[in-house]
Amino acid sequence: MKCAVVIPAAGIGRRFGSDLPKQYLELRGRSIIEHAIERFVATPEVTRILIAVEASQEARLEARIAERGWKNVETIVGGSTRQHSVLNGVVGVAGEVAYIAVHDAVRPVFARETFTRLLETVRTAAGAVPVLRPRDTIHRVQGERIMSTMNRDDLAAAQTPQIFRSDVLLPALERAAREGRVHTDEAGLVAGYGHEVRVIEGDVWNLKITTPEDLAMMEANFGQWSLL
């Protein structure tokens, strides 16, 4: 069951507060994105990995790819949005494989078991995504006022990697581009067009590094979490 991977990495991460986009910040001697790429390089089902980067960062990442000797990893220029970057990558691989995974550049330690279960799940669906169910009570608020309380059974926080049939993902992305629709992840986009996207239990260690505190937590726990 062969799968290509697209990693949108063209963001500049203004919220993080560093001059360098956060995916290129160092984590245990390597950039965050290198750790994410390495997990896929070591996965037998993955045949090709495309990284959609901001043009000014392309040479930096290509140099690291060459140093690591990764033959099935290449860069492309990303778009102005995550969705545009994903589309640029998907166009490049959709005709080669039946399945395409999309992964956040700043999730460096997703569990290998998660990827295996996603591949098994997507065999009988249009897509598969790992999620975490909320443990806390979730309120809908307006300003400083609680307006209503949500049913936790109906809520899930999406993670990546997310895997889709390529003959579903590419048309969905192209249609969204034509219609001007923007989604924050591909699972919502594909499901929004009526396709079945199934969920599996996610991984609490699959942390998306968004703030300096996240990076510090990952640095402190990397030795344990990276073994998953």
Residue 12 has φ and ψ, to the nearest 5°, of -105, -5
What is the Cα–Cα distance from 199 to 215, expressed in whole angstroms? 27
Q: At 127, list the tokens.
A: 């897509």
pLDDT tier at 12 (50, 70, 90 boundaries)?
confident
Average pLDDT in the chain: 94
Mean pLDDT of 18-41: 93
Least confident range from 12-16, 64-68, 96-100, 111-115: namely 12-16
Q: Class assignment of domain 3-225?
A: alpha beta
Q: Give tens-digit pLDDT for 103-145.
A: 999 999 999 999 999 999 999 999 999 999 999 999 999 999 9
pLDDT on residue 15: 67
Q: Which of 10, 35, 34, 8 is nearest to 90 (CA)?
A: 8
Mean pLDDT of 70-94: 95
pLDDT tier at 1 (50, 70, 90 boundaries)?
confident
Residue 131 has φ and ψ, to the nearest 5°, of -135, 160
**pLDDT of 209 over the 90 cut:** yes
CB atoms within 10 A of CB 62: 15
pLDDT tier at 13 (50, 70, 90 boundaries)?
low
What is the Cα–Cα distance from 199 to 186, expressed in whole angstroms? 13
pLDDT on residue 14: 66
pLDDT on residue 18: 77
Residue 44 has φ and ψ, to the nearest 5°, of -60, -35
Q: Give tens-digit pLDDT for 139-154.
A: 999 999 999 999 999 9
Eight-class DSSP state of 122: H
